[in-house]
Amino acid sequence: MLKILKYSFFDLMRSRWSYVYFAFYLLLGIVLLFLNNDLSKAVITLMNVIIVLVPLIGTIFGVMYYYNSKEFTELLLAQPLKRSSIFLGQYLGVALSLSMSLILGLGIPFVFYGLFKSTAIWDFSLLLITGTFLTLIFTALAFNIALSNENKIKGFGYAILLWLFLAIIYDGIFLMTLILFEDYPLDKLSLVGTMLNPIDLSRTLILLKLDISALLGYTGAVFKQFFGTNFGLIVSFIMLTVWVILPVLRIVFKSMKKDF
Amino acid sequence: MKTLIIIFSVILMTSYTHASQIEVCNTCPISTLKEAIAQAKDFDTVFVKKGTYKEYDILVNKPLTIIGENYPVIDGELKGEVITITSDNVTIDGLFIINVGTSYTEDYAAIRVKKSKHFVIQNVVLEKLFFGIYLEKSSYGKVYHNKIIGDAVEEYNSGNGIQLWYSNHIEIEHNYVEHVRDGIYLEFSDDCIIKNNISAENLRYGLHFMFSNDDIYQDNTFENNGAGVAVMFSKKIKMLNNTFKENWGTASYGMLLKEINDAEIIGNTFEENTIGINIEGSNRMVYKNNNFINNGWAIKVRGACYTNLFIENNFLYNSFDISYNSKVNDNVFDRNYWSNYTGYDLDKDGVGDVPYRPVKLFSYIVNRTPETIILLRSLFIDIIDFSEKVSPVFTPDNLLDNNPLIKKVQW
Amino acid sequence: MVSIQNLHKKFGKNQVLSGLDLTISEGGIFAVLGPNGSGKTTLIKAILGMVIPNKGEISVLGENIKKSSNYRHQIDYLPQIANFPSNLKVRELIKMIKDLRQNTDEDKRLIELFKLEPFLDKKLGNLSGGTKQKVNIVLTFMFNSPLIILDEPTTGLDPISLIRLKDLIQTEKAKGKTILITSHIMSFVEEVSDEIVFLLEGKIYFKGSISELKTKTNQPDFEHAIASILTDNHA
């Protein structure tokens, strides 16, 4: 698997898309710092951008890579290699190169701006960790979509739909549900609703950091335990990990059964 | 004229010669404070040497100066009130009072001043107390540089740090109060100055006052109190340069204003509170040059607030800047700096070219269904907030800052 | 060498292989023939483990291939359409495949044989179809495995390279290896193969030598023999 990972990774590293992605983050970081003149404010803006953009790029890039490397995959399949290593290797190759573009692209301008001397360093690390988690999750989801759809256009369509659903529509439905059932105790429901969507989950992590004062204004005991202690942070990270593991398991499972 | 001076100096000299000093120590002829007070004449000075004195119900009924040297301990042994002052012109300085009695029927205090004037209480340390310093119908006094450290756990069986009741013209300065019920409590007390105090980690309010007019609060720090600071039913208050920090919780505010009229709130800092200022039924107030940093809600307007002016404040990184629960607005927001402002300044005059709308639709939704707070910062919420910004339906449409500043306000 | 029992494979509603039995003994050249869609490529991919059968068993060199990938060390496979990652250079591709399988020096001889030196530093995306096929052949023949599977090996080759390929196949046969070929070029099949396997509608219609086929169909030459099978069954 490590060999496949190595080749996928280097293959991607020399493809111009990684550079585009890297350059995009570099630019975003520089522009935000330049416009805000303030590290903490730039980090906050970035958080809002990251939780929406990283999933989009992760899904699109994942699907694209899968379809584009079909030949490579078939070449590998005829070699004495396990299927799971081939697909996990490719998946990790994509996810890691995307994460690296993210970390370096954002990290470089912020480090030059004096991140290490700033109090925003923890917020920024949380941002990068969340971004990496989201990349891992959405690349895995993209691979799942691509593995299940031979048709490229259909695959892309589903990928965009998935992003649209999790980034926007889900929250709309979520909000409607909460308002409709406002007469009932809702704190458990709202927490469960958050857990079921990785974008919301990452948002929660960021809320814990930025909006703890507002969150603690709510009365529910479950809420209070979740946001008032480290419990929320731990549960969120566990759930994010589960969100990585489940789609990855499905990649392994699906790839075992697929014909090429 | 000359004769007048002579008469004055004669009076001064006689009073000086009359005033004598009394020493109290564990091995002295006078070994208790009570004995010393009994023997002292008016305007005497009682020096209390280092040591432990197990006494309570000490009544100071003549004008005396009681000075502790190296913080002698007055141990009330939890039996009742420790010092009660009933005379004018009393000074208490440098005592360490512990173990005030706790009662459900009487408010025992470490030091109580009753119907007296011109008193000074300074450099006193209070620990294991019920009530700390209790001023009752007293005026023209000074409470200066005291340290009050309680160990309150429950509201019902704990008392307040510094309490004023029908006491006017009092100066409360440089005190430090923590872990009591209310740090500083004023009721029916006018023309007081409360300055440079620190009130932290108290069970209920850092500062609590009701029916007290024309008071000035200045340079105080209120931090991490159960419910922040509550200011109610008062007029013409000045609150200047105070800091309200980390008051977190469901019913917790940096400051709660209820039925306050004609007050000035200038130069204060509200940082990391669940609600920076909660305003209810308050009119003709001026909010100027305040910093609202990282609060859940910088300002929550609950209704019946008219002709208030919010000018040149900094709103930095609050989850919500302003929350309104009605569609009517009669308050003015002008020339504030909003970190959430996304407009531009093409003519470079330091004022944004598009007005800022500080009330978000989402804050209206959260008011209605509090659980929806979990959707804060969601893209969907940003979208509906944007549409509300373009054409307000649920929020007051004249609630605008027409001159949002591009750079932080400095003063 | 390879034994297949009761192999079934369905793609959606399309039954491609239905109860195929085949035994290929060690040594010699076997040609798998059949009309379009008869399941030739599916059969080969099933042997390679790229297509998962619905039913049936396949064993290569006595080892059941289900849930195993190691047996592929014993197989050299030449895929039908030479599609390679276009970002890679020829040299890197060869190096990578060696890295993934095992090291060998045979590639140098083969590169020389097919005159590939000028292309070594070119990206695979920029190569012509014929050159790609040559690279494909190098990748296949550089390992010394007992079973060689060639799917349409002649595609895009110029006459000289074709002759070299035939020589190569004969040398490998002489080493006692088993070679499995599919091709549409009947003359090529006739020239190289010892035995043919004819697939029709997912089953083996005929297995034996070319002369046996001619006798069976009463046709003087191989091409007509094949054609007669098809007309008999489809007309």
Whether residues C85 and A83 touch (CB distance < 8 A) is answered with no
Is the pLDDT assigned to residue B14 strictly greater than 60?
no
Whether residues A70 and C96 touch (CB distance < 8 A) is answered with no
Is the pLDDT assigned to residue B310 strictly greater than 80?
yes
Helix or strand (DSSP H, E) at B194 = strand B193-195
| Cβ pairs A/B, distance under 8 A | 110
Whether residues A212 and B248 touch (CB distance < 8 A) is answered with yes
**Which has more pLDDT, B314 or C77?**
B314
Q: State the pLDDT at residue B398.
A: 85
Measure the CA angle with vertex B123, ends B121 and B124; round to 5°: 75
* Residues in chain A closer than 8 A to B370 (CB atoms): 217-220
- The shortest CB-CB distance from C50 to any of A14, A78, A256 is to A78
* Residues in chain A closer than 8 A to C49 (CB atoms): 77
Amino acid occupying residue B394: F
Tell me the domain boundaries of chain B.
23-223, 226-359+395-410
Query: CB distance from B382 to chain A under 8 Å?
Result: yes
How far is Cα A199 from Cα A54, in angstroms, rounded to an integer? Answer: 10
Neighbours of A161 (CB within 10 A): 13
- The shortest CB-CB distance from C87 to any of A11, A70, A78 is to A11
Classify residue B172 by burial, with Cβ atoms within 10 Å: 0-12, 13-18, 19+: buried
CA distance to A20, B59, B200, B240, B289, per residue, from B195 (Å): 58, 29, 15, 9, 19
Amino acid occupying residue A233: L
* N residues, chain B: 411
pLDDT digits (tens, 9 = 90+) for B256-288: 999 999 999 999 999 999 999 999 999 999 999
CA distance C26 to chain A (A): 21
Structure tokens of A101?
């573009």
Whether residues B374 and A190 touch (CB distance < 8 A) is answered with yes
pLDDT digits (tens, 9 = 90+) for C183-222: 888 888 888 888 888 888 888 888 888 888 888 888 888 8
CA distance to A137, A207, B363, per residue, from A236 (Å): 14, 12, 25
Do B and C make contact, counting contact as 3+ CB pairs within 8 angstroms? no
Whether residues A259 and C11 touch (CB distance < 8 A) is answered with yes
pLDDT digits (tens, 9 = 90+) for C140-188: 888 888 888 888 888 888 888 889 888 888 888 888 888 989 888 888 8
CA distance B288 to chain A (A): 23
Query: CB distance from C227 to chain A under 8 Å?
Result: no
- The shortest CB-CB distance from C51 to any of A70, A72, A260 is to A260
- The shortest CB-CB distance from A172 to any of B273, B294, B380 is to B380
DSSP A168: I
Beta bridge partners of B323: B300
* N residues, chain A: 260
Is the pLDDT assigned to residue B88 strictly greater than 90?
yes
Q: State the pLDDT at residue C235.
A: 47
| Cβ pairs A/C, distance under 8 A | 59
CB A45 within 8 A of CB A124: no
- B142-144 and B216-218 strand pairing: unpaired
**Which has more pLDDT, C193 or B194?**
B194
Whether residues C88 and A11 touch (CB distance < 8 A) is answered with yes
Which of A72, A90, A147 is best to mutate for the C interface (most C CBs within 10 A)? A72
CA distance A33 to chain B (A): 14
Q: State the pLDDT at residue B298.
A: 93
**Taking a contact as any Cβ pair under 8 Å apart, which residues of chain C between 19 and 48 contact chain A?**
45, 48
Q: State the pLDDT at residue B8.
A: 61
Query: CB distance from B249 to chain A under 8 Å?
Result: yes
What b-and-e string marks burial along A204-232, b requiring 16 or more CB atoms within 10 Å of the CB? bbbbbbbbbbbbbbbebeebbebbeeeeb
**Taking a contact as any Cβ pair under 8 Å apart, which residues of chain C between 93 and 132 contact chain A?**
96-97, 99-101
Query: CB distance from B377 to chain A under 8 Å?
Result: yes
**Which has more pLDDT, C123 or B2?**
C123
Structure tokens of B64?
């005396």
CA distance B155 to chain A (A): 19
Whether residues A191 and B374 touch (CB distance < 8 A) is answered with yes
Amino acid occupying residue A200: D
Alpha helices in chain A (DSSP H): 2-13, 16-36, 39-68, 70-77, 83-112, 121-148, 152-164, 170-180, 187-195, 198-210, 212-215, 221-228, 231-257
Q: State the pLDDT at residue B4.
A: 62
What b-and-e string marks burial along B316-326, b requiring 16 or more CB atoms within 10 Å of the CB? bbbbbbbbbee
Do B and A make contact, counting contact as 3+ CB pairs within 8 angstroms? yes
How far is Cα B327 from Cα B361, in angstroms, rounded to an integer? Answer: 11
Is the pLDDT assigned to residue B11 strictly greater than 60?
no
How many C-alpha atoms does B235 have within 13 Å on its Cβ side? 0
Please, which chains are in contact with C (at least 3 CB pairs closer than 8 A)?
Answer: A
Amino acid occupying residue B68: G
Collect all residues with Cβ–Cβ distance below 8 Å to A100 and sequence separation of at least 6: none
What b-and-e string marks burial along B196-214, b requiring 16 or more CB atoms within 10 Å of the CB? bbbbbbbbbbbbbbbebbe
Whether residues A83 and C72 touch (CB distance < 8 A) is answered with no
How far is Cα C141 from Cα C214, in angstroms, rounded to an integer? Answer: 32
Structure tokens of B296?
């859940």
How far is Cα A16 from Cα B206, in angstroms, rounded to an integer? Answer: 60
Please, which chains are in contact with A (at least 3 CB pairs closer than 8 A)?
Answer: B, C
- The shortest CB-CB distance from A15 to any of C45, C70, C87 is to C87
* Residues in chain A closer than 8 A to B387 (CB atoms): none
Amino acid occupying residue C234: H
What b-and-e string marks burial along C162-175, b requiring 16 or more CB atoms within 10 Å of the CB? eebbeebbeebbee
Q: How confident is the model at residue B13 (pLDDT cuts 50, 70, 90)?
A: low
- Please tell me whether the overall predicted TM-score, pTM, comes out greater than 0.90 for this model: no
Whether residues A182 and B369 touch (CB distance < 8 A) is answered with yes
Report, as an integer, the average pLDDT of B302-311: 89
Q: State the pLDDT at residue B2.
A: 63
Structure tokens of A205?
């992590």
* Residues in chain B closer than 8 A to A219 (CB atoms): 250, 370
> Tell me, what's the ipTM?
0.85
Whether residues A75 and C84 touch (CB distance < 8 A) is answered with yes
Query: Which of B128-132, C26-30, C80-84 has the largest mean confidence?
Result: B128-132
CA distance to A179, B319, C103, C223, C224, per residue, from B279 (Å): 26, 18, 79, 97, 99
Query: CB distance from B13 to chain A under 8 Å?
Result: no
Q: State the pLDDT at residue A154.
A: 94
Q: How confident is the model at residue B390 (pLDDT cuts 50, 70, 90)?
A: confident
Among 3.40.630.30, 3.30.70.20, 2.160.20.10, 1.10.260.40, name the CATH number for the domain at B23-223.
2.160.20.10
**Nearest residue of B to residue A221 by CA position?**
B250
**Nearest residue of C to residue A81 by CA position?**
C69
For the ranges A160-174, B65-79, B188-202, C22-36, the lowest mean pLDDT is seen at: C22-36
Beta bridge partners of A132: none
For the ranges A47-51, A256-260, B171-175, C30-34, the lowest mean pLDDT is seen at: A256-260
**Nearest residue of A to residue C88 by CA position?**
A11
Query: CB distance from C71 to chain A under 8 Å?
Result: yes
Whether residues A190 and B372 touch (CB distance < 8 A) is answered with yes
Whether residues B252 and A187 touch (CB distance < 8 A) is answered with no
- B320-324 and C2-11 strand pairing: unpaired
How many C-alpha atoms does B197 have within 13 Å on its Cβ side? 28
Query: CB distance from A69 to chain C under 8 Å?
Result: yes
DSSP B276-330: EEEEES-BS-EEES-EEES-SEEEEE-S---S-EEES-EEES-SEEEEESSS---
Which of C70, C83, C124 is best to mutate for the A interface (most A CBs within 10 A)? C83
Domains of chain C from N-terminus onward = 2-234 (3.40.50.300)
Q: State the pLDDT at residue A142.
A: 95
Digitized pLDDT (tens) for each residue of chain A, 260 residues in all:
777 888 788 777 777 778 888 899 899 888 888 877 777 777 878 888 888 899 999 999 899 989 988 877 888 888 888 888 889 988 998 999 999 999 999 888 888 887 777 777 888 888 899 999 999 999 999 999 999 998 999 999 999 999 999 999 999 999 999 989 888 888 888 888 989 999 999 988 888 877 877 777 776 677 777 877 788 888 889 999 999 999 999 999 888 888 87
**Nearest residue of A to residue B341 by CA position?**
A36
**Which has more pLDDT, B153 or B75?**
B75
Query: CB distance from B149 to chain A under 8 Å?
Result: no
Is the pLDDT assigned to residue B357 strictly greater than 60?
yes
Structure tokens of A68?
């584009």
Is the pLDDT assigned to residue B19 strictly greater than 80?
no
**Taking a contact as any Cβ pair under 8 Å apart, which residues of chain A between 74 and 93 contact chain C?**
74-83
* 3-state SS assignment for residue C18: strand
Which of A191, A213, A218, A235 is best to mutate for the B interface (most B CBs within 10 A)? A213
CA distance to A137, A166, B399, C47, C123, per residue, from B380 (Å): 21, 10, 23, 51, 45
* Residues in chain A closer than 8 A to B314 (CB atoms): none
CB C94 within 8 A of CB C138: yes
DSSP B40: P
- B198-200 and B176-178 strand pairing: parallel
Report, as an integer, the average pLDDT of C63-86: 79
**Nearest residue of B to residue A177 by CA position?**
B372
Cα B124 to the chain's mean position, in Å? 19
Residue carrying structure tokens 């209920």: B204
CB B149 within 8 A of CB B169: no
Amino acid occupying residue B106: E
